[in-house]
Chains A and B, each alone.
Chain A
């Protein structure tokens, strides 16, 4: 641990400001609370919102897991883990079930979260209405009036043009029957995991200076139409090439030598855990 810095990098005033915004965000699920996003030692848009939430939450007893697109070992995840562990000395883990704070970019882990965990999601674009309304002043008004026709119209136009809703990730959701919220660019596959989740989910957008939250056991509904129901990505009949898991989010990869398409778990620590269990069972 590097003692030249404050515990958790921030001064106490910065933590207090982020904490006050976080508490308001929990009290108003799905509402984007503005906060004074701090300058961080990583670039804006690289997870500064999530990092600020993590640093404001973390204590000596916490166990931290950071994932980037399902991977514990990508550059972004490793840098964030290094920064937090250098300034706090907390334990780092890859195991989802052992972590108390999980900071994630673009995935909700495959292992179901429990009540003692907090999931922190990094958000690039927190405003689900930004696509059709460039003015922040106007989108705030639309949220205030619960005027979400634009969000539905956006999906309707996609259906008209392409025959289905084409939101690959970040498919907008309705929180507690009040706010339309960007769930951060998680794949549609993960949207249903947000609904009535056991863990507290906090979302932070550093560049856009917004914090919002989904408390545990909160109703989350992905926007859709009666005749065009919302569907997550389907991996029917496919399984992970390494661990054989089905019903998880898979990455599609192509073997360049043979041109063959194969699939692999996107959540690397989940895949590893399954493989280790199989190996253990084999040895015994």
Chain B
């Protein structure tokens, strides 16, 4: 591993700060991801591992969803000493790309939303997806966005609906971070409102 845990992880963190404070801003973790040796045994992508290394240590807990979740949990535990736990108790939920459709919905449903007194005790869900790019499929609004911004993301399922339900009682809720195969990072904190931009509907209205 040629990764410098001081400087490279600082740079990952700053990109995470940029993307979280400006939802819809896509950050590139490619440079840092290239410093990790090849694909690791457990099946996590390099950008997912980078985020685990940036955020996890023995003070926090996590859970992995994936076809071989146990191996991935072992790998992350060995790298960070964080403890793997049940979904509803985990501070960080990692969803690998091979986890299957509907896993994100399940994770959102099970994740800890925090309480009104302590909303910061809620979980952060980090999910691998297909390609993330700027586009107009999903329209984002909320703090960090001047008026609205659009993104395009290859991800099926009812996760937008589930997330909306989970985050209904602000300030409780879950925050989402997505990384794709090209190490593009997108962050959707609980304050961001997502609307599907349906072309057909727009045409019909016009």
Chain A residues with a Cβ under 8 A of chain B: 6-8, 12-13, 15-17, 19-29, 31, 33-34, 56-60, 115, 118, 140-141, 143-145, 176, 178-179, 196, 200, 213, 215-219
A-B contact sample (4 more), CB < 8 A, given A16-B54, A26-B144, A28-B189: A26-B21, A28-B119, A28-B191, A215-B191
- Complex Cα–Cα for A24 and B123 (A): 10
State how many angstroms separate the Cβ of B122 from the closest Cβ of chain A. Answer: 8
Cβ A20 vs Cβ B55 within 8 A: yes
A236 to B7, CA, bound (A): 48
Asked if B17 is an interface residue, CB under 8 A from chain A, the answer is yes
Beyond A29-B191, A141-B117, A178-B171, is A59–B14 a contact (Cβ under 8 Å)? yes
Note all chain B residues with C-beta closer than 8 A to A6: 6
Q: Which residues of A contact B115 (CB under 8 A)?
A: 144
Q: Are A215 and B14 in contact (CB under 8 A)?
A: no
Nearest CB of chain A from residue B186's CB, rounded to whole Å: 14
Instruction: Check A19 against B54 for contact (C-beta < 8 Å).
Output: yes
List residues of chain B with CB within 8 A of the CB of A21: 120
Question: How many angstroms between the C-alpha atoms of A19 and B7 in the bound complex?
Answer: 14
Q: Is A7 a contact of B7 with CB atoms below 8 Å?
A: yes
Chain A residues closer than 8 Å to B119, beta-carbon distance: 28, 31
Among residues 135 to 173 in chain B, which have CB atoms less than 8 Å away from a CB atom of chain A? Answer: 143-146, 170-171
**Are the C-beta atoms of A23 and B6 separated by less than 8 Å?**
no
Contacts of B55 in A (CB 8 A): 16, 19-20, 23
Contact between B143 and A176, CB atoms less than 8 A apart: yes
Residues of B within 8 A of A179 (CB): 171
Contact in complex: A23, B191 (CB < 8 Å): no
B7 contacts which of A13, A17, A60, A140 (Cβ < 8 Å)? A60
Q: Which residues of B contact A (CB under 8 A)?
A: 5-7, 9-11, 13-14, 16-17, 20-22, 54-57, 59-60, 115-120, 122, 124, 143-146, 170-171, 175, 189-191
Main SS of the interface on chain B? Answer: loop
Which B residue sits closest to A216, measured CB to CB? Answer: B144
Contact status A217-B120, CB under 8 Å: no
Query: A140 contacts B117, CB within 8 Å?
Result: yes
Give 29 A-B contacts (CB < 8 Å), ordered by A residue: A12-B5, A16-B54, A17-B59, A19-B54, A19-B55, A21-B120, A23-B17, A23-B175, A24-B122, A26-B17, A26-B144, A28-B119, A31-B119, A31-B171, A34-B120, A57-B17, A59-B10, A59-B11, A115-B22, A118-B17, A140-B118, A141-B117, A144-B115, A176-B143, A200-B21, A217-B143, A217-B144, A217-B146, A219-B143
Which residues of A have CB within 8 Å of B145?
217
Assembled-state Cα–Cα distance A179/B59 (Å)? 28
Q: In the assembled complex, how far is the CB of residue A209 from the closest CB belonging to chain B, in whole angstroms? A: 13
Q: Which residues of B contact A196 (CB under 8 A)?
A: 146
A275–chain B nearest beta-carbon distance, Å:
34
Q: A7-B7, A28-B191 are in contact. Are A200 and B59 (CB under 8 A)?
A: no
Residue of B nearest to A59 (CB): B10
A21, A29, A196 pick with most chain B CB within 10 angstroms? A29
- Interchain CA distance A185-B176 in the complex, whole Å: 33
The reply to whether A144 and B116 form a contact with Cβ atoms under 8 Å apart is yes
Q: Give A34 to B60 CA distance when docked, in angstroms.
A: 15
Q: Write the chain A residue with the least CB distance to B55.
A: A20
CB-contact partner of A26 in B7, B11, B20, B57, under 8 A: B20
Asked if A176 contacts B191 (CB within 8 A), the reply is yes
A215 to B119, CA, bound (A): 17
- Given the complex of chains A and B, what is the CA–CA distance between A216 and B143 in angstroms? 7
Give every chain B residue within 8 A of A59 (Cβ-Cβ). Answer: 7, 10-11, 14
* Contact, CB under 8 Å: A216 / B117: no
Q: How far is the CA of A24 from the CA of B190 in the complex (A)?
A: 10
Checking B7, B56, B124, B144 against A23 with a beta-carbon cut-off of 8 angstroms, the contacting residue is: B124
Q: Which residue of B lies closest to A58 (CB)?
A: B10
Task: Report the separation of the CA atoms of residues A34 and B145 in the bound assembly, to the nearest whole angstrom.
Answer: 26
CB atoms of B143 and A29 under 8 A apart: yes
Q: A7-B6, A12-B6, A144-B116 are in contact. Are A57 and B14 (CB under 8 A)?
A: yes
Contact A27 B116 (CB under 8 A): no
Taking CB atoms, residues of chain A closer than 8 Å to B21 are 26, 200, 213, 215-216
Distance of A20 Cα from B58 Cα, bound (Å): 13
Contact A20 B60 (CB under 8 A): yes
- Contact present for B20 and A27 (CB under 8 Å): yes
A118 to chain B: closest residue by CB: B17
Residue of B whose beta carbon sits closest to that of A198: B146
